[in-house]
Amino acid sequence: MGYAEIFFAGLCLNATCDVDLDNVTTSVPSYFQLKFAELEEELKTETLVLTTIQNGELSGYQKIGDDLVGNGIAFDIIQILQNKYKFNYTIVLPEDETFLGASNQRTAKRLLEKEEVDMAVAFLPIIESIRNEIVYSTSFDVAEWVVLMNRPKESATGSGLLAPFTTEVWIMIIFSILTVGPLIFLMVLIRARLCKNDDSDVYSLSTCLWFVYGALLKQGSTVNPRTDTSRLLFSTWWLFILILTAFYTANLTAFLTLSKFTLPITAPEDIGKKHYRWVTNKGNPVRDQILADKNDEHIYQEKLIEKLGNLKVFANYPDMEILDSYVYKRDMMFIREKTVINHIMYKDYRQKANGGMEESKRCTYVIAKFPIVKFSRAFAYSKNFKYKELFNYAIQRLIEGGIIEFKLKENLPDAEICPLDLGSTERKLRNTDLLLTYIIVGGGLAVALCVFLMEVLWRVCQRRYRKRKAGRMRANGWPNNHKSRAFRSNLQVTPPPSYQTLFKPPFYYERGGTKKFVNGRDYWIVDGKNGLKQMIPLRTPSALLFQFSN
């Protein structure tokens, strides 16, 4: 077959034409056809030495009598190749069932380097730093490693009364409360200093702070601003509170009624930053990548351990045992291939369903939506394996035909298994949603009790101080008339002037008022401070009250 025939055959193959290249008859066989035919004949009499590692549904082995028989998707591929090329194989297990490890261990990589085995049958990560030591097959795919964790009881965005706003928003609200009160006080004080002739009130700092706090809780206030400056400041704060409470009420209703969930991690870096503990199986490519050469130029080198943190465990147990012992009981995060994680979730769901567990309690775990890391996966050959080109050609045909992708999803349902959002729209309020209200009530009572005790203590201290002072006065010979403080304070008040002194001409109101006769009595009509007219009786004792009140 010439170059033109190979080119058009490749186009036809990529277009999924029904052409069997093995049965294409040509007058002159190509070099590759002759070479592949020769390799196929030699392979029929070969017994290949394979190695593998336990990796869930992807690869593994079982012992039947004295023989080791491979299983998993990787050996399904080997079975297809075996049916085509009629070879036999034996399995040699690596030490500790790992691909990479210490230099003195007989790992799968070490067996390939020493050519003690021909091929490592597993979905192995393609690590660039070891390409000079072993040979990888045609890449199967680019796989994602994801996180499986216990389904949180509460959304990461929070629950209860604090859920509608993020932490940054709450911090800004508290900052606004602490700054607006003093700002109103300063503006009112400066305005009163600059405009001394205006009859304006200067509110104390505590009054301004209580107004800001009361407005936040939709309470009334006895503060009645009279100037335009203070009115604008007060109305601005009221408008701010109106908008804030509107958004808070709407979002609180949504958070308490909807069942949408978010996880505590949104990126791989969150695992390391938040110091979460994580686990993976000992033969996992994540472990292999962490143990790889530090001079690796791969994009994930030296960054993966920094993302995930050092709180790690490489467990040499089956996946379901890791799920129960490490994830469920120790609340650790399980990092695994997405394909394996899906099989684990589906197996756990079926076990709970067959056990009669309620539907709402079957989805104990949840999978994060983002990938932790991505690796290309392939088989690995020893450096001098003579059938690698033949195997690569067959593997490429399996990939293009979708066989490998089909095998990875063969035993999984089409629907997503235990999604993050379970789709339930009914939700009853729990005590955790109202926990903050209990804290506020308890905290308020505790603060009130503390203030009350401080007042009692202050009163006791004042009483003791007065007693000591009275004792010192008696010791110094000062008179002690034993009169109450209220009586002594009343003695210091100057008595009011007599009626005749106040209302004899010229009368106090003559300068700004007019006298009128109404219903048989004489009244003075004067202008009050609030701009209204006041009627003050003339030549009666009640006029004295108006004198002192004005």
Over 391-412, what HEC string results? Answer: HHHHHHHHHHCCHHHHHHCCCC
In angstroms, rounded to a whole number, what is the distance separating the alpha carbons of residues 366 and 149?
A: 6
pLDDT: is 211 or 544 the higher one?
Answer: 211
Do 526 and 458 share a domain, yes or no? no
Q: List alpha helices for 292-430, DSSP H.
A: 304-308, 319-322, 338-354, 388-400, 403-408
C-alpha span between 294 and 487 (Å, rounded): 90
Q: How many domains does the chain have?
A: 4
The reply to whether 22 and 125 lie within a common domain is: yes
Per-residue confidence (pLDDT) for residue 293, from 0 to 100: 47
Q: Are residues 42 and 105 in the same domain?
A: yes
Q: Do 48 and 135 belong to one domain?
A: yes
| Same domain for 165 and 134 | no
> For residues 525 and 516, what is the distance between their CA atoms, to the nearest angstrom?
7
Flag whether 131 is in a domain.
yes
Pairing mode of beta strands 521-527, 514-518: antiparallel
In a domain, 263, yes or no: no
Q: Which of residues 245 and 527 earns the better pLDDT score?
A: 245
Does one domain contain both 14 and 129?
A: yes
pLDDT at residue number 454: 93
Q: Tell whether 540 is covered by a domain.
A: yes
Q: Provide long-range contacts, Cβ within 8 A and 24+ apart, for 132-135.
A: 133/109, 133/383, 134/109, 134/380, 134/381, 134/382, 134/383, 135/380, 135/381, 135/382, 135/383, 135/385, 135/388
pLDDT for the residue 264: 82
Query: What is residue 248's predicted lDDT score, i.e. its pLDDT?
Result: 86
Pairing assessment for the beta strands 60-64 and 67-71 based on DSSP bridges: antiparallel
pLDDT digits (tens, 9 = 90+) for 192-219: 777 766 666 777 888 888 888 888 777 7
Residue 173 lies in a domain: yes
Considering 190, 223, 257, which residue would you say is the last residue of a domain? 257
Of 378, 349, 341, 330, give the one whose Cα is nearest residue 123: 378
pLDDT, position 315: 83
Q: Which of 214, 235, 257 is the last residue of a domain?
A: 257
- Taking 90 as the threshold, does the pLDDT of residue 63 lie above it? no
Q: Which of 110, 140, 170 is the last residue of a domain?
A: 140
Which ranges in 382-513 belong to alpha helices (H)?
Answer: 388-400, 403-408, 435-475, 485-491, 499-503
Q: Which residues contact 334 (CB under 8 A, 6 or more apart)?
A: 147, 148, 149, 278, 279, 280, 322, 323, 326, 327, 341
419 φ, ψ to 5°?
-65, 170
Q: What is the pLDDT of residue 215?
A: 80
Q: Does a structural domain hold residue 310?
A: no
Structure tokens, 444:
């308020």
Per-residue pLDDT of 31-62, as tens digits, reads: 677 877 888 888 888 899 999 988 888 888 88
Most confident of 20-24, 357-361, 430-434: 357-361
3-state secondary structure of 50: strand
Are 389 and 381 in contact by the 8 Å Cβ rule? The answer is no
pLDDT in tens, 162-175: 777 888 888 888 89
Contact 380, 51 (CB under 8 A): no
Q: In the predicted model, is pLDDT for residue 2 greater than 50?
A: no
Residues 196 and 135 placed together within one structural domain of the fold: no
Residue 423 pLDDT: 62
Q: Are strands 141-150 and 278-281 parallel, antiparallel or unpaired?
A: unpaired
Where residue 192 sits, what CATH number does that domain have? 1.10.287
Q: Which domain holds residue 76?
A: 3-140
The mean per-residue pLDDT over the stretch 381-405 comes to: 90
173 and 251 belong to one structural domain: yes
179-193 pLDDT, tens digit each: 888 888 888 888 777
Q: What are the tokens at 205?
A: 């700092």
The CA distance from 536 to 289, in Å, is: 97
Q: Which of 271-285, 376-390, 428-442 has the lowest mean pLDDT?
A: 428-442
> If you average pLDDT over residues 408-424, what whole number do you get?
80
- Give the N- to C-terminal CA distance of the chain in Å, as an integer: 120
The per-residue pLDDT for 539 is: 61
Higher pLDDT, 72 or 493: 72
How far, in Å, CA of 277 to CA of 150, rounded? 13
**Residue 536: how many other CB atoms lie within 10 Å:** 20
Domain check: are 192 and 134 in the same one?
A: no
| Domain co-membership, 94 together with 78 | yes
Range in 19-28, 117-126, 199-208 with the lowest mean pLDDT: 19-28
* Residue 482, domain member (yes or no): yes
Same domain, 86 and 182: no
16 and 129 assigned to the same domain: yes
pTM for this one?
Answer: 0.60
Burial of 469 from C-beta contacts in 10 A (0-12 / 13-18 / 19+): exposed
**pLDDT score for 247:** 87
Q: Flag whether 332 is in a domain.
A: no
Q: Are strands 67-71 and 312-315 parallel, antiparallel or unpaired?
A: unpaired
Strands 333-337 and 278-281: parallel
CATH of the domain at 64: 3.40.190.10
Rounded average pLDDT over 288-301: 55
344 pLDDT higher than 70 = yes
Q: What is the dihedral of CA 84, 85, 87, 93, to 10 degrees?
A: -70
Identify whether 146 is part of a domain. no
362: CB partners within 8 A, 6+ apart: 349, 352, 353, 418
Q: Retrieve residue 192's tokens.
A: 């009163």
Strand partners, 440: none
Amino acid at 276: Y
Q: Residues, the chain, total?
A: 550
Highest mean pLDDT among 21-30, 229-238, 440-449, 471-480: 440-449
- What is the C-alpha separation between 322 and 219, in angstroms, rounded? 56
DSSP calls for 129-181: GGTTTSEE-S--EEEEEEEEEEPPSS-TT--GGGTTS-HHHHHHHHHHHHHHH
Please say whether the beta carbons of 346 and 412 come within 8 A. Answer: yes
Q: What is the pLDDT of residues 460-506, one digit of tens each?
A: 998 888 888 787 777 766 555 555 555 555 555 566 665 555 554 44
Residues 346 and 415: beta-carbon distance below 8 Å: no
Q: What percent of the chain has pLDDT over 70?
A: 75
